[in-house]
């Protein structure tokens, strides 16, 4: 996997809230991803977690006081954000949101936010009681922050430390990490809706047995993540996998090819892009048993098959005159990829086909792919699947852009 924050300097600000305990894990996740993290805490934050913990996890001295004389020119509120790539406030309390919305600067962290260079993005992860989050004063402050270009990450709904339930929980550390990583990706699919199929299908033989394949879903999930990072609204229709849903992606789980077909056709209206990554079973068992088949001495089960509908071809057939959805297919060929890939693209009636070199990609973390379009083919050299997914997303965006310029 890429070290997405390698070389990035992140100022991690903590304001007062019980979610400070999650900031410790966030800090660790940021450093593991290659970031250099400078922690700044409000006085209230130090009541929830110590500066010692945050120093140990970030590997850098923590600042809590605007009168701290450790910075040579005594201007920590200026120096700490110079050269920074982002300022992330997690947790951001209701009071700290108020300060940010009104330009209050009465402690080191709020002064540092106001004094940061305007090109350094400010991201905040609200964390507060549900009533505080819903209060009109907080709503006003949130709207003001958005209007000022501050990115509001979350909050999430769920159980709260105050034993109430609702919106106001801080996003989980790994979700915040993904949001921060996404904030550095260019928004080449902003405003676009993308439907992606991923994983294997499972064709039942009886209630406990079935036919499936070795697809892990990694490539499809990586593309879902990359499309979301690029600003798209993403719907993932997934066969059985053990992968976590990428943050911000809506996922529908299916088992059989028929269910995948039905879920895709139900969701395809209004989609700008369709990417069929799933390894869909070519055949289903027509004489599947409702009860578990009994083993009988010497007698072999006799299975009859019929062909599943080709989901990609069915979606491609719905392409409107204006070219939506832009359809992308995948092909895993064990030989003659260059020849078969070009033929398959034409046969499926799609503008872009991604060929895997060999079928050994199943379950692997990296891959080499070849892109086939009407003007020929391009090789994307071996890389991890997320890197390839990001390249594919920008190739798709480039083709959509070129196409709309031609119209």
**What distance in Å separates the CA atoms of residue 166 and residue 197, rounded to the nearest whole number?**
32
The residue range among 208-216, 247-255, 283-291, 326-334 that interacts with ligand C5P, by the rule CB under 6 A, is 326-334
The residue range among 21-29, 247-255, 273-281, 377-385 that interacts with ligand C5P, by the rule CB under 6 A, is 273-281
Min dist CB 330 to ligand C5P, Å, is: 4
Looking at 278, 316, 352, 357, which residue binds ligand C5P (CB under 6 A)? 278
395 binds ligand C5P (CB under 6 A): no
CA distance 294 to 304: 17
Separation between Cα atoms, residue 53 and residue 280, nearest integer Å:
49
Question: Does the protein bind ligand C5P through residue 15 (CB under 6 A)?
Answer: no
> How far apart are the C-alpha atoms of 147 and 170, rounded to whole Å?
21
Q: Is 311 in the site for ligand C5P (CB under 6 A)?
A: yes
Instruction: Report whether 25 contacts 176 (CB < 8 A).
Output: no
Q: Is the preceding omega at residue 243 within 30 degrees of 0, hence cis? A: no
Q: Write the burial class of residue 406 (CB in 10 Å: 0-12 exposed, 13-18 middle, 19+ buried).
A: exposed
Show the tokens assigned to 267. Answer: 């969701």
The dihedral over CA atoms of 285, 286, 292, 295, expressed in degrees to the nearest 10, equals: -70
Give min distance, CB of 227 to ligand C5P, in A. 16
Cβ 201 to ligand C5P shortest distance, Å: 8
**Tokens (6 digits) for 204:** 């039942």
Rounded to whole angstroms, how far apart are CA atoms 307 and 283? Answer: 4
Q: Is 257 in the site for ligand C5P (CB under 6 A)?
A: yes
> Coil, helix or strand for 298?
coil
Number of residues near ligand C5P (by CB under 6 A) = 13
CB of 3 to ligand C5P, least distance (A): 30
Binding residue (CB under 6 A) for ligand C5P from 173, 276, 325, 355 = 276
Element holding 206 (H helix, E strand)? strand 203-206
**220 is a contact residue toward ligand C5P (CB under 6 A):** no
Q: For residues 154 and 239, which CB has a smaller minimum distance to ligand C5P in the complex?
A: 239
CB of 369 to ligand C5P, least distance (A): 12
Beta-strand ranges (E) seen in 359-405 are 366-373, 376-384
Say whether 20 is catalytic.
no
Q: Considering only the C-alpha atoms of the chain, give the largest distance between any 2 of them, rounded to a whole number of Å.
A: 88
Asked if residue 337 binds ligand C5P (CB under 6 A), the reply is no
Contact 361, 338 (CB under 8 A): no
- How far lies 360's CA from each of 241, 349, 364, in Å? 18, 26, 7
Pick one of 326, 330, 362, 372: the residue that binds ligand C5P (CB under 6 A): 330
Contact with ligand C5P (CB under 6 A) among 88, 122, 153, 312:
312
Question: One of 20, 27, 92, 162 is an active-site residue; which one?
Answer: 162
Q: Binding segment for ligand C5P among 27-35, 132-140, 309-317, 356-364 (CB under 6 A)? A: 309-317
Does 200 bind ligand C5P (CB under 6 A)? Our answer is no
Output 23 or 371, the one with its CB closest to ligand C5P: 371
At 69 the three-state DSSP class reads coil
Instruction: Please state the closest distance from residue 280 (CB atom) to ligand C5P, in A.
Output: 4
- List residues near ligand C5P by CB under 6 A: 197, 257, 276-278, 280, 308, 310-312, 329-331
Query: Catalytic site residues?
Result: 162
């Amino acid at each position: 996997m890429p070290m997405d924050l390698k070389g990035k300097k992140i100022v991690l600000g903590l304001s007062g809230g019980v979610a400070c305990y999650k900031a410790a894990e966030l800090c660790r996740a940021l450093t593991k991803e290659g970031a250099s993290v400078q922690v700044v805490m409000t006085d209230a934050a130090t009541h929830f977690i110590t500066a010692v913990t945050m120093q140990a996890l970030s590997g850098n001295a923590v600042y809590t006081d605007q009168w701290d004389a450790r910075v040579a020119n005594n201007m920590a509120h200026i120096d700490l954000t110079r050269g920074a790539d982002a300022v992330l406030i997690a947790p951001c309390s209701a009071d700290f949101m108020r300060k940010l919305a009104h330009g209050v600067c009465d402690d080191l962290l709020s002064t540092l936010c106001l004094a940061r260079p305007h090109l350094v993005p400010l991201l905040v992860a609200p964390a507060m009681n549900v009533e505080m989050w819903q209060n009109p004063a907080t709503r006003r402050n949130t709207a003001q922050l958005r209007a000022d270009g501050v990115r509001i990450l979350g909050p999430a709904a769920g159980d709260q430390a105050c034993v109430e339930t609702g919106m106001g929980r801080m996003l989980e550390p790994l979700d915040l990490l993904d949001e921060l990583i996404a904030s550095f990706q260019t928004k080449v699919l902003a405003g676009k809706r993308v439907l992606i199929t991923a994983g294997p299908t499972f064709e039942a033989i009886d209630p406990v047995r079935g036919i499936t394949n070795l697809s892990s879903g990694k490539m499809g999930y990586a593309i879902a993540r990359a499309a979301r990072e690029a600003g798209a609204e993403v719907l993932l229709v997934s066969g059985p996998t053990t992968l976590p849903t990428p943050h911000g992606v809506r996922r529908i789980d299916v088992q059989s090819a028929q269910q995948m077909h039905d879920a895709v056709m139900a969701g395809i209206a209004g989609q700008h892009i369709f990417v069929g990554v799933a390894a869909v079973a070519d055949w289903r068992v027509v004489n599947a048993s409702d009860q578990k088949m009994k083993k009988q001495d010497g007698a072999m089960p006799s299975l009859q098959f019929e062909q599943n509908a080709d989901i990609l071809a069915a979606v491609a057939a719905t392409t409107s005159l204006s070219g939506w959805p832009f359809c992308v297919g995948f092909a895993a060929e064990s030989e003659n990829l260059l020849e078969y890939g070009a033929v398959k693209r034409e046969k499926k009636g799609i503008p872009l086909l991604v060929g895997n070199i060999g079928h050994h990609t199943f379950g692997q973390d990296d891959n080499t792919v070849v892109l086939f379009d009407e003007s020929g083919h391009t090789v994307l050299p071996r890389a991890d699947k997320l890197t390839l997914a990001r390249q594919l997303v920008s190739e798709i965006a480039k083709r959509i852009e070129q196409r709309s310029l031609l119209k």
